[in-house]
């Protein structure tokens, strides 16, 4: 009987076994999943099984040649899911979510980034599908019809396998399915296919949240925000009132390059000099807090002083929400507000989202002259971007707020030899080697921009805010980074590498200094608004003024890690900042609830579009009609 069953369902069994094997191979060699013991290794091995059985069950609905086609199609879909995650992981060190899959308008602009992430052997993942297609053609086998009872039993077997899988995983990681912000944990324990089903359920739940939300949900959040409000430094409040604002989002620039060298050459000589300027406030303990939305997430955080979502990009998933963004607030203070980025206006859905944020104008690709000589990689070189942007700025009514987003220091960090101001590093990791040259190029471009503004008489009456938008070097390049930094990349060091530069330069201020306070991108909005003399008491925000004398040294990252004055909490462990060594978890516990609450509150605002129930003029919840 067993021999007969194996013969009848040979194609299904072979497909299932091969899909199981290649899933495990991808987990082991394409993803950097930390396996701490034999139980976790066993979970990793068995977690594709339930999905494989479910796929077989779906194929059983068909018979004859239809089943052969179903086997090939289902196998291709499952394999493509593995393939897409593998390629995505190489750059983002993360896994695809449902919202990311719908961000197809970005794909056409990725160009060189996508091709550089593909390896010839990647397509070996699909070879079994080709072989099975040949097998079906040669053998001309037809799958026998299967009763509804047997199909039901197959689904039941898949469900039992999933329950057993989750049960074992829960012994290793309690509350596994409530920790949806930790995608690596989910992939490691329930597998890629089950993770994507779980993600779809979470996304559907998020859609329902908005439909069911009401004004009562924002009351607790309002109370928390007002209780956590930090008074601005009276000496700094209004110190830059009425001045123009130039904000520079520095693509992929991490803080480890500041005051550092490669091959004896400074990586960021201009920024280093700017930090020493008496008019500059530099924040070395400042962190990016982005998620999957990367640059768009940093824009969202800075504009709204809220956290990005744990999955996807707010710019795509919630672009029609009501916000109390900085451009809108400044527009009400008679500022002309603009964003400047030499990329397609639809990339990251900016053309839609910017309207929700309250920008008066978006200077996109169509507003710039881009030629093969002036562009590389993702588009217009930073030097030419800044040069042309000055021309646009001269036409803006004052006072103006404009944000400029650089491009050249973007993966895969391409640069023509004629533009290289320092040599590439000489490790075996080309990505890291090139990163230093493009970072140096961006630094020089910013210097030229500052010089141009001075020559045009546009410098003195302007406040400059320069910040790194997100990491440039992911954990996939830890070997090269360990060599460069001269130390092992532990979870503690990896979290510290999420530091990005923040410089606030106020010409004529004269009191500039290095500010040691711990902060993140979420703190930029209240800090800048207070410098401009704008009261933020009546707005919903989670950041606090970086100049405030009673601010708390605190920054929480999107994955739940957080940093305080003396500790770093990441990957479930508490580390001493001075030694970098693990300490008792109790030393981080006073901040764990705050970190979790802020991420949760911010998510609830976005998912439920709760700001539609809040009046920023009165600082009160609107009365429902």
Residues noted as catalytic: 295
Backbone angles phi, psi at 76, to 5 degrees: -65, -45
Long-range CB pairs of 273-280 (<8 Å, 24+ gap) are 274/466, 274/503, 274/505, 275/503, 275/514, 277/505, 277/512, 278/509, 278/510, 278/511, 278/512, 279/505, 279/506, 279/507, 279/508, 279/509, 279/510, 279/512, 280/503, 280/504, 280/505, 280/506, 280/512
Q: What is the DSSP letter of 566?
A: S
Instruction: Tell me how far apart the alpha carbons of residues 51 and 165 are, in angstroms, rounded to a whole number.
Output: 11
Instruction: Tell me how far apart the alpha carbons of residues 506 and 530 are, in angstroms, rounded to a whole number.
Output: 14
Instruction: Tell me how far apart the alpha carbons of residues 258 and 239 are, in angstroms, rounded to a whole number.
Output: 27
Instruction: Tell me how far apart the alpha carbons of residues 412 and 476 are, in angstroms, rounded to a whole number.
Output: 14
C-alpha pair distances (Å), 573 with each of 62, 495, 559, 565: 50, 12, 13, 16
Are the C-beta atoms of residues 447 and 456 closer than 8 Å to each other?
no
Q: Which residue has the tokens 């608004």?
A: 529
Between the CA atoms of 424, 425, 427 and 433, what dihedral angle is there, to the nearest 10 degrees?
A: -60
Instruction: Tell me how far apart the alpha carbons of residues 398 and 244 are, in angstroms, rounded to a whole number.
Output: 7
Backbone angles phi, psi at 525, to 5 degrees: -60, -55
Q: Which residue has the tokens 């527009």?
A: 331
Backbone angles phi, psi at 187, to 5 degrees: -60, -45
- Over its C-alpha atoms, the chain yields an Rg (Å, rounded) of 26
Which residues lie across from 339 on neighbouring strands?
362, 403
Q: Which residue has the tokens 């993360």?
A: 94
Q: Which residue has the tokens 């000099």?
A: 273
Are the C-beta atoms of residues 433 and 394 closer than 8 Å to each other?
no
The answer, yes or no, to whether the previous bond of 399 is cis (omega within 30 of 0) is yes
**CA-closest candidate to residue 287, choices 4, 77, 5, 543:** 543
How would you classify the pairing of strands 379-380 and 519-520? unpaired
Residue 238, helix vs strand vs coil: coil
Q: How many CB atoms lie within 10 A of CB 490?
A: 18
**CA-closest candidate to residue 422, choices 443, 449, 446:** 443
C-alpha pair distances (Å), 478 with each of 468, 472, 489, 600: 20, 12, 6, 31
Are the C-beta atoms of residues 317 and 104 closer than 8 Å to each other?
no
Q: Which residue has the tokens 């890629």?
A: 192
């Amino acid at each position: 009987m067993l021999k007969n069953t194996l013969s009848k369902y040979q194609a299904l069994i072979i497909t299932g076994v091969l899909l199981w094997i290649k899933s495990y191979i991808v987990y082991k060699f394409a993803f950097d999943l930390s396996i701490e013991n034999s139980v976790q290794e066993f979970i990793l091995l068995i977690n594709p099984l339930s999905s494989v059985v479910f796929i077989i069950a779906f194929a059983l609905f068909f018979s004859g040649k239809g089943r052969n086609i179903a086997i090939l199609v289902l196998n291709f879909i499952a394999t493509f899911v593995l393939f897409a995650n593998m390629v995505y992981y190489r750059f983002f060190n993360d896994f695809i979510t449902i919202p990311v899959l719908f961000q197809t308008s970005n794909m056409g602009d990725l160009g060189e980034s996508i091709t550089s992430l593909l390896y010839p052997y990647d397509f070996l993942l699909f070879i079994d599908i080709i072989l099975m297609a040949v097998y079906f053609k040669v053998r001309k086998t037809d799958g026998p019809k299967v009763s509804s009872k047997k199909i039901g039993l197959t689904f039941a077997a898949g469900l039992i396998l999933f329950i057993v899988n989750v049960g074992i995983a829960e012994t290793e990681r309690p509350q596994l399915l409530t920790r949806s912000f930790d995608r690596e944990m989910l992939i490691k324990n329930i597998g890629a296919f089950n993770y994507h089903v779980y993600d779809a359920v979470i996304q559907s739940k998020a859609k329902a949240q908005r439909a069911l939300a009401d004004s009562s949900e924002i009351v607790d959040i309002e109370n928390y925000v007002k209780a956590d409000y930090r008074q601005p430094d009276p000496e700094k409040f209004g110190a830059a009132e009425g001045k123009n604002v130039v904000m520079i989002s520095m693509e992929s620039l991490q803080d480890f390059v500041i005051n550092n060298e490669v091959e004896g050459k400074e990586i960021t000589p201009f920024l280093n000099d700017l930090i020493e300027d008496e008019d500059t406030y530099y924040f070395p303990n400042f962190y990016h807090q982005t998620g999957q939305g990367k640059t768009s997430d940093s824009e969202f955080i800075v504009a709204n002083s809220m956290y990005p979502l744990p999955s996807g990009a707010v710019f795509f998933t919630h672009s029609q929400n009501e916000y109390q963004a900085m451009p809108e607030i400044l527009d009400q203070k008679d500022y002309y507000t603009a964003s400047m980025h030499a990329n397609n206006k639809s990339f990251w859905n900016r053309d839609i989202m910017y309207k929700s944020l309250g920008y008066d104008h978006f200077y996109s690709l169509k507003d710039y002259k881009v030629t093969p000589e002036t562009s590389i990689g993702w588009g217009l070189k930073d030097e030419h971007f800044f040069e042309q942007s000055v021309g646009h700025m001269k036409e803006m009514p004052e006072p103006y707020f404009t944000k400029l987003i650089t491009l050249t220091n973007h993966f895969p960090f391409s640069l023509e030899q004629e533009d290289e101001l320092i040599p590439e590093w000489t490790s075996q990791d080309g990505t890291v080697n090139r990163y230093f040259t493009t970072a140096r190029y961006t630094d020089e471009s910013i210097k030229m921009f500052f010089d141009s503004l001075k020559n045009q008489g546009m410098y003195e009456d302007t406040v400059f805010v320069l910040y790194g938008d997100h990491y440039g070097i992911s954990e996939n390049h830890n070997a090269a980074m360990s060599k460069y930094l001269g130390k092992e990349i532990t979870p503690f060091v990896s979290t510290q590498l999420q530091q990005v530069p923040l410089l606030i330069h106020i010409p004529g201020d004269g009191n500039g200094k290095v500010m040691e306070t711990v902060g993140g991108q979420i703190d930029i909005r209240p800090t800048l608004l207070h410098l401009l003399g704008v009261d933020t008491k009546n707005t919903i925000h989670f950041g606090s003024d970086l100049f405030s004398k009673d601010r708390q040294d605190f920054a929480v990252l999107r994955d739940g890690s957080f940093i305080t004055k003396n500790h770093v909490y990441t990957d479930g462990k508490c580390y001493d900042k001075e030694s970098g060594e693990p300490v008792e978890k109790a030393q981080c516990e006073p901040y764990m609830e705050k970190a979790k609450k802020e991420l949760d509150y911010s998510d609830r605002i976005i998912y439920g579009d709760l700001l539609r129930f809040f009046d920023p003029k009165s600082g009160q919840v609107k009365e429902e009609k």
